[in-house]
Amino acid sequence: MYDVIVIGAGVTGASIARRLSRYKLNILILEKEIDVSMGASKANSAIVHGGYAESHDELRGRICYKGRVEFNKLNQELNFGFLENGSLVLAFDEDDEKELNKLYKMGLENNLDDIEIINQEKLRQIEPNVSDDAISALYCKGAGVCSPYEYVIALVENAIENGAELKLQSEVVDIKKEEDIFKVKTSDDNTYEGKFVINASGLNGAKISSMITETDFTIHPRSGEYLLMQKGTGEKIKQVLFQTPSPKSKGILVTRTYHNNLLLGPDAIDEEEIDLGTHIERLAEIYKLGLKSVKDDVIDLKKFIRSFAGLRPASSTGDFIIENTKTSGFINVVGIQSPGITSSPEVAKIVENILKDLNLNLEDDPSYNPYRKPIIEYKDLEDFNKVKDKIDLPLGNPERLVCRCEQVSEKTIRDAMNRGIPCLTFDSIKRRTRSGMGFCQGNFCRQRVLEVMEDETGEKILNRKFDSEHSGISRINKKDINNFIKELEEKNLEE
């Protein structure tokens, strides 16, 4: 019997499980995928938002800033990678400046104390490579970037360290409530009993909810595509650069990632069906819009390494849904799109208070440990000539470099595999260690990583089909996007 069953191991479910693991509770996390952070939490802008972009009338507007101010402490505890580098919303004309004033007022209503509208002179002082066409900006000093999948992994690892259980590849197929006990059946024909159930299942939020309670909302996928450049390209941008937002999106951004790649995107398209592929016309438009924010030499498509798409679980209400349902004890935490990562610490507190109001005994666990050692920390790459001899060290040598581009050692991979979450695919190691995230995108290290994994477990890795390169998802490559942009530019010159 579990006190709490959490459905979904994205950022929402992970934050809730980790928050509750400080108490003497039996907690179970159920995740349908082969790893944690496999949905919206994996593929997004990775921004820790300021808290000015949503109205105070919306729950997400009221809690974004409250979540944001927790991130420095969370990173000190969990070591997932957070950089408080600030954000700028750029204005290019008078209409944009009117929008900045609206955002500024919303920020004040949401209790922000670190925002200001700055003029062209100050803008260029703090962001030298911003476009000459930008005339002013909304500056939020405390916004930043994080590594989102590392954040989720850290949350779950710490929850497990503090007694929570995780079941992967366990899709929920049925939920019943008999007397005061929930019975949650999974795709592997197991049934788990719990006193409370938290529905944090992302895109499946409405589907899961309708299994057990009256559900008056829908969840639909809203896709956003991105262009990612190689490591080191992020150095030209200091802050997160937004353009003025639209009703669906916070605007195309140009930013460095936590690990210093340049990132452009996303657009926002409401989808009928789930599509994780990327599309050349959409990426070309993102590139074109990104150029508007920065000087001409900032974005170099020759350094492009990857395109990807993320799906946000947009609710029909347009806001976060966090509530005890008519089937009391079944708690919906759904529709958590942007700023879901930023809000996640506060979302967890709200759920904690709901459970408290429902008389769940939250007794502090004196053995609770909030700290989790990092798997990796941010580093600049060393001179390759100084480390190349480590590539040919024998299997089993901890110092052997398995990944050449990101300079990942064998001991780092083995460490990642022994932290409570089963690592069953190359991509699981990729997200934890950055093996395969460099210039060659795993062409050199894929088999080397699998070799270490198989040596560590003594078993053949059978789940290679789950890795992104073999998933059947179509992604636009470097050659395609460069040729397409070149053709567009030539056509424009002719016209």
Active site residues: 49
Q: Would you say the C-alpha torsion 75, 310, 36, 321 has a positive or negative sign? A: positive
Distance CA 204, CA 279 (A): 25
| Angle between helical axes of 11-20 and 148-161 (0-180°, round to 10) | 30
| Angle between helical axes of 426-433 and 446-457 (0-180°, round to 10) | 100
Within the chain, what is the greatest distance between any pair of CA atoms?
Answer: 74
Distance CA 360, CA 113 (A): 35
Around Cβ 108, how many Cβ atoms within 10 Å?
Answer: 13
Distance CA 458, CA 435 (A): 21
Distance CA 400, CA 407 (A): 10
Cα–Cα distances in angstroms (integers) from residue 330 to residues 6, 145, 202, 352, 405, in the given order: 10, 33, 15, 13, 46
Q: Would you say the C-alpha torsion 219, 275, 225, 228 has a positive or negative sign? A: positive
